[in-house]
Amino acid sequence: MVVCTAAPLFSMAPRNGTVPAFTLNLGFCHVNFQDNLSYVVNGAILSTRDFTFVAAMLASSGYILVLLHKHSRQVRSIRRTQQGTSMEMRAAKTVVMLVVLYTMFFGIDNVIWIYMLTVAQVPAVVADMRVFFSSCYAALSPFLMISTNKKIKERMVCAAGEQLTESTNEKTNTK
């Protein structure tokens, strides 16, 4: 109800058959607006809210990158003997990858959203595609975090090794 404020006001159960014009398919219910103006105004308000938070995320990510760059310059003399990629550079790459991943899926989601606002009757598959793309970041970002964090990868390998050792010990004990 907080994400889609119009849902409690204009929602109705999905019906078999045709979907009325100016209806937003949320999957679990349909939000039926009286006219095109209220439909587009609702979409514009939701898009403005979303873009505001994405702008805040981009600004904070930029600030994190600036801090990482400053920190890298401060400790450069200490790390002259070390070779390879610095921790700050790896963290900056992770931040950039997460931001790019999120903005890519957010962009696809909003292109579909704008399409849904401009077409009176949207096929259900388009609404399903929007749900899919809006869920992709939440599904893929943990894998990105795991692949870029050495400590997590080491613990996963260690845990996998312990499980392998336990299963081997159980097999030898049963014989």
Q: For residue 103, is it within any domain? A: yes
Instruction: Please give the Cα distance from 133 to 72 (Å, whole number).
Output: 36
Per residue in 9-68, pLDDT tens? 777 777 776 667 777 766 667 778 788 788 788 888 888 888 899 999 999 999 999 998
- By residue range, what is the domain housing residue 161? 7-174
> Whole-model pTM?
0.67
Q: For residue 2, is it within any domain? A: no
| Distance, C-alpha 134 to centroid of its chain | 7
| Distance, C-alpha 118 to centroid of its chain | 24
Q: For residue 63, is it within any domain? A: yes
- Is residue 99 within 8 Å of 58, Cβ to Cβ? yes
- For residue 161 the two structure tokens come to 């090794």
Look at the chain and report how many structural domains it folds into.
Answer: 1
Residue 157's pLDDT is what? 76
Element (H, E) at 30: strand 30-32
Q: For residue 64, is it within any domain? A: yes
Q: For residue 1, is it within any domain? A: no
